[in-house]
Structures are given as structure tokens and as C-alpha cells.
């Protein structure tokens, strides 16, 4: 004889079993999607200034033509008052990305090559505001450029000021879950010293394999040395296609594998003299996809 309690227990058990079965079916149907996403360790993009569309949402259309996953976009310049800080321009970029099926990969403040972070007070606001822009666009990295007038080599006072300014803004970036990325001609040890002095995981290194090769650094060793301090990469050659210059991208891939790097690789430069940009970038994109495919 079955009591009400036993009936209740049996019904509850069957109900739980049914829910578990539905859950397993759902997980099973979604598993390929998650597996595919997990497999795809690398995304290939390009800098908006390298594809002839600096500070323009039209960069998304060009990225689609090339076959890229996304674009590293400029915060702006002095002339347009860092226009990506406005909601209207942000929406233009979001719309362009959606329409063309590509992503806004990361930000860059290239104007700091002419208006140095180490000395010009305007840059303090730019870097601080980039935190809000990253959140608005759903990106995690903003490249802070230190070339030209902003070069930090042999400039102790300049480095000290950069450390001071980064210390001030880093807690805000850390709270927002975004990264301020130093790209410079400094070597791995010097970058690590700056990061250690700032003392925040929100400050990391943007690693350009060509710049560091040109400086004579052992990039394969440096990538492994910096490890998780590298947040994003530039794949670049000066005056030639990727794979045709001094950078051995297969060895770069091996070094990335050793540090378990996942994420964006942005193509910069890599156009032979007299060659069309679009044709060169289609070739560069195909080359990188061969080296950085999931099965490579």
C-alpha cells in the first residue's frame, strides 16, 4: 500500500529526474557552442590608423572587407577632442560594428606620441576618461602610446611622472575591470619595474613584436618573461608583409602558448612600399589565421 507521503516522494523524484534530463539535453545542445568558443583562443584585428580609417567608424566596414574579427579604435585626437568620449560617437561605432559583423576590439590613445602623458596635463583626463569609454564599448584594453615625444627611454623623470599618474588612475581602472596598457620602446625589465611601482593589475604591457625586435630585444624570451603582464599584441613588420620580415611568428605563437595567451592580435603596418593596403591586409590576415588557428 502506497501512502500519500510515498506518492509525494515518488512524484518529486520523477519531477527532479525530468528536470535533470531537460538540463542535460540543454547542456548537450549548447556544448558545441561552448566548445567552439573555448577553442578559439585568438582573434585577429587591425589598428584603425593602419587601415586608413583612424578615428572613423568606417574602419568596421574595411575590417569586414579584409576578413578581420575586429578593430582597435582610436580614442580620438586633439582636433576632435577625443571624440569617442561622447555617447553619440560611441553609438556610431557600435552601430558600425553591428552592421558589419565585427567587434570593437580595444582602444588606443596614439595622440600621446605627440602630447606626452609624462608631461602634458591634458592626457590625465584622456586616460581617466578612457576607463568610461572602455566600459561603454564593452572592451577591456586601452593602449597608452609612449613613442615620439612621449618616449620613456633614458628619461627617469618622465618615467617617475608616468608612474605617479598611473598610480592615481589605476584604482579606477581596476574597479571597472579594464586595463591600461603601456606600449613603449622599453625592455621587459623596465616595463616590469613600472608595473611593480604602480602596483595594480589594471596596468599591463601592450607588446609589439616588431618594435621590440627593432630595439634588439629577444622577443620570444621577453614574451615568456612578461607572461600574464601582456594584455594584447601588435603583429607588425615595417615595410613588408607579415612573415616576410625578421619576426618569426611561429616562434611568437610558441611563446604565446607557453604563457597561455588568449585574445586579440592586432595587425599594424606590414604593407610593402607601393602595395595597396587592402590587398596587403587580406594577405596578412590569412597568414596570421594560418599561424594562430586553433589547430596550429
Phi, psi of 50 (to 5 degrees): -85, -20
Pick the closest to residue 166 from 191, 188, 194, 142 (CA basis): 194
Does the residue 103 lie in any domain?
Answer: yes
Res 8 pLDDT > 70: no
**Does 296 reside within a domain?**
no
Structure confidence by residue, pLDDT tens digits, 33-91: 333 444 568 999 999 999 999 999 999 999 999 999 999 999 999 999 999 999 999 99
pLDDT for res 16: 44
Question: What's the mean pLDDT when you consider all of the chain?
Answer: 90
Pair 30, 48 in one domain: no
The pTM score is: 0.86
Q: Are residues 226 and 148 in the same domain?
A: yes
C-alpha cell at 68: 578581420
CA 71/CA 57 separation, integer angstroms: 10
Rounded CA-CA distance 200/23 in Å is 41
Q: Is residue 79 one of the residues assigned to a domain?
A: yes
Using pLDDT thresholds of 50, 70 and 90, give the confidence band for residue 293: confident
Same domain, 171 and 33: no
Q: Which domain holds residue 11?
A: 1-39
* Local structure of 68: helix, strand or coil: coil
- CATH code for the domain in which residue 85 is found: 3.20.20.150
User: 130-179 pLDDT, tens per residue?
Assistant: 999 999 999 999 999 999 999 999 999 999 999 999 999 999 999 999 99
13 and 108 belong to one structural domain? no
Q: What is the pLDDT of residue 163?
A: 98
Residues 67 and 32 in one domain: no
189: exposed, middle or buried (Cβ count in 10 Å: 0-12, 13-18, 19+) = exposed
For residue 258, tell me if it sits in a domain: yes
pLDDT at 254: 98
My answer on whether 191 and 247 are in the same domain is yes
Distance (Å) of CA 136 to CA 49, 77, 84:
21, 19, 10
Give the tens place of pLDDT for each residue, 237-269: 999 999 999 999 999 999 999 999 999 999 999
Amino acid at each position: 500500500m502506497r501512502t500519500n507521503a510515498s506518492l509525494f516522494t515518488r512524484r518529486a523524484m520523477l519531477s527532479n529526474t525530468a528536470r535533470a534530463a531537460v538540463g542535460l539535453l540543454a547542456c548537450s545542445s549548447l556544448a558545441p557552442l561552448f566548445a567552439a568558443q573555448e577553442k578559439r583562443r585568438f582573434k585577429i584585428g587591425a589598428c584603425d590608423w593602419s587601415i586608413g580609417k583612424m578615428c572613423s567608424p568606417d574602419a568596421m566596414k574595411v575590417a569586414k572587407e579584409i576578413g578581420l574579427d575586429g578593430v582597435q579604435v582610436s580614442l580620438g585626437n586633439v582636433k576632435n577632442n577625443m571624440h569617442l568620449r561622447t555617447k553619440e560617437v560611441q553609438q556610431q561605432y557600435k552601430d558600425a560594428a553591428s552592421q558589419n559583423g565585427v567587434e570593437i576590439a580595444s582602444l588606443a590613445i596614439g595622440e600621446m606620441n605627440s602630447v606626452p602623458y609624462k608631461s602634458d596635463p591634458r592626457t590625465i583626463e584622456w586616460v581617466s576618461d578612457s576607463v568610461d569609454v572602455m566600459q561603454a564599448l564593452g572592451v577591456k584594453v586601452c593602449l597608452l602610446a609612449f613613442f615620439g615625444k612621449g618616449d620613456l627611454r633614458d628619461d627617469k623623470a618622465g618615467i617617475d611622472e608616468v608612474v605617479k599618474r598611473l598610480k592615481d588612475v589605476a584604482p579606477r581602472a581596476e574597479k571597472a575591470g579594464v586595463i591600461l596598457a603601456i606600449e613603449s620602446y622599453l625592455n621587459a625589465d623596465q616595463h616590469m619595474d613600472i608595473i611593480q611601482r604602480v602596483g595594480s593589475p589594471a596596468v599591463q604591457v601592450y607588446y609589439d613584436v616588431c618594435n621590440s625586435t627593432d630595439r634588439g630585444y629577444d622577443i620570444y624570451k621577453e614574451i615568456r618573461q612578461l607572461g600574464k603582464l601582456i594584455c594584447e599584441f601588435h603583429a607588425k613588420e615595417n615595410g613588408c608583409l607579415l612573415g616576410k620580415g625578421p619576426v618569426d611568428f611561429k616562434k611568437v605563437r610558441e611563446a604565446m602558448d607557453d604563457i597561455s595567451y588568449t585574445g586579440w592580435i592586432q595587425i599594424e603596418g606590414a604593407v610593402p612600399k607601393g602595395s595597396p593596403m587592402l590587398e596587403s591586409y587580406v594577405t596578412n590576415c590569412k597568414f596570421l589565421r594560418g599561424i594562430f588557428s586553433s589547430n596550429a
